[in-house]
């Protein structure tokens, strides 16, 4: 079995004359929390869309859960969970109804949906909210709901695109406790974030700039390399550096 959950070599995506992702290479180990950082427009979301089977690469190699992104993109979608930065659940359905709806999308039968709904409601601490309309919930609880939809079909790899954007610090911390629990259960977490304190929680980080990966290492080692106390300082030095290629 392939030891990597995600394996990428020289992955490239162009849009006309513009190169959004420029020959990037990296591997993500199974069970790893991998942080994917970069300023807006650096190429992060384009990369994630290619890895999730939503956008075909222009060139290069990528395998997700051992599957080739060119030929097995439909199978990849069944092996991954994806939580977008924009809340994507239905505001006029209850928590339970949203979970049941997404269970149907993932092809679960009624028995599986009932079982998964009960498991996720308990695991995410949504017992009191399960029959409330989604629109009535605070954003932090909505984020938990979105995560429940992403992991409903028990995927091996979970892509989280700025999952805590806009939520309060306590909710962000609680969400990361859930991320660690998922990793402890053997799930691979591929996460983007603009919060550099969250970047500290990742096992490894990559930092993109102008479509290329310019750094890739553990947070501790990056701070040592740049002689900085925090990842915020490291990140700002990297993205503000002139002529970095």
**CATH code (residue 60):** 3.40.50.300
Region 152-164 average pLDDT: 91
Domain annotation covers residue 214: yes
Domain annotation covers residue 245: no
Q: Residue 4 has what pLDDT?
A: 94
The 10s digit of each residue's pLDDT in 19-36 is 999 999 999 999 999 999
Q: Residue 1 has what pLDDT?
A: 45
Q: Hey, how many other C-beta atoms are within 10 angstroms of the C-beta on 214? A: 16
Residue 143: band (very low, low, confident or very high) from pLDDT cuts 50, 70, 90: confident
In whole angstroms, give the CA distance from residue 74 to residue 16.
26
Contact 124, 158 (CB under 8 A): no
Is 8 a residue whose pLDDT tops 60?
Answer: yes
Region 183-190 average pLDDT: 95
Domain annotation covers residue 97: yes
pTM: 0.88
Residue 87: band (very low, low, confident or very high) from pLDDT cuts 50, 70, 90: low
Domain containing 179: what range? Answer: 4-240
Contact 3, 29 (CB under 8 A): yes
Domain annotation covers residue 220: yes
Identify the residue with better confidence: 159 or 116: 159
Range among 108-117, 122-131, 170-179, 220-229 rated most confident: 220-229
Tally of domains within the chain? 1
Long-range contacts, stretch 101-104, CB < 8 angstroms, 24+ apart:
102/149, 102/152, 103/152, 103/153
Residue 104: band (very low, low, confident or very high) from pLDDT cuts 50, 70, 90: confident
The 10s digit of each residue's pLDDT in 22-80 is 999 999 999 999 999 998 889 998 999 999 999 999 999 999 999 999 999 999 988 99
Contact 81, 159 (CB under 8 A): yes
Domain annotation covers residue 108: yes
Q: Residue 243 has what pLDDT?
A: 57
Sign for the CA dihedral angle at 29, 7, 147, 21 comes to positive
Region 137-160 average pLDDT: 87
Is 85 a residue whose pLDDT tops 80?
Answer: no
Q: Backbone phi, then psi, for 35, in 5-degree steps?
A: -90, 130
């Amino acid at each position: 079995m392939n030891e990597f959950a995600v394996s990428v070599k020289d992955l490239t995506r162009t849009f006309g004359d513009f190169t959004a992702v420029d020959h990037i290479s990296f591997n993500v180990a199974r069970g790893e929390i991998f942080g994917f950082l970069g300023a807006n427009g650096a190429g992060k979301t384009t990369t994630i869309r290619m890895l999730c089977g939503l956008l075909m690469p222009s060139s290069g190699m990528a395998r997700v859960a051992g599957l080739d992104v060119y030929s097995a993109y439909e199978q990849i979608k069944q092996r991954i969970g994806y939580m977008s930065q924009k809340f994507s659940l239905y505001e006029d359905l209850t928590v339970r109804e949203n979970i049941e709806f997404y269970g149907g999308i993932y092809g679960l039968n009624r028995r599986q949906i009932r079982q998964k709904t009960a498991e996720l409601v308990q695991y995410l601490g949504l017992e009191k909210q399960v029959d409330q309309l989604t629109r009535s919930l605070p954003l932090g609880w909505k984020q938990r709901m979105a995560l429940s939809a992403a992991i409903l079909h028990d995927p091996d790899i979970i892509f989280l695109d700025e999952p805590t954007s806009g939520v309060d610090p306590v909710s962000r911390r609680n969400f990361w406790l859930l991320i660690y629990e998922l990793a402890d259960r053997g799930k691979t977490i591929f996460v983007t974030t603009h919060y550099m304190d969250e970047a500290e929680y990742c096992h490894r980080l990559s930092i993109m700039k102008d479509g290329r990966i310019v750094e890739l290492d553990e947070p501790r080692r990056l701070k040592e390399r740049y002689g900085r106390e925090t990842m915020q300082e490291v990140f700002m030095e990297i993205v503000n550096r002139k002529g970095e290629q």
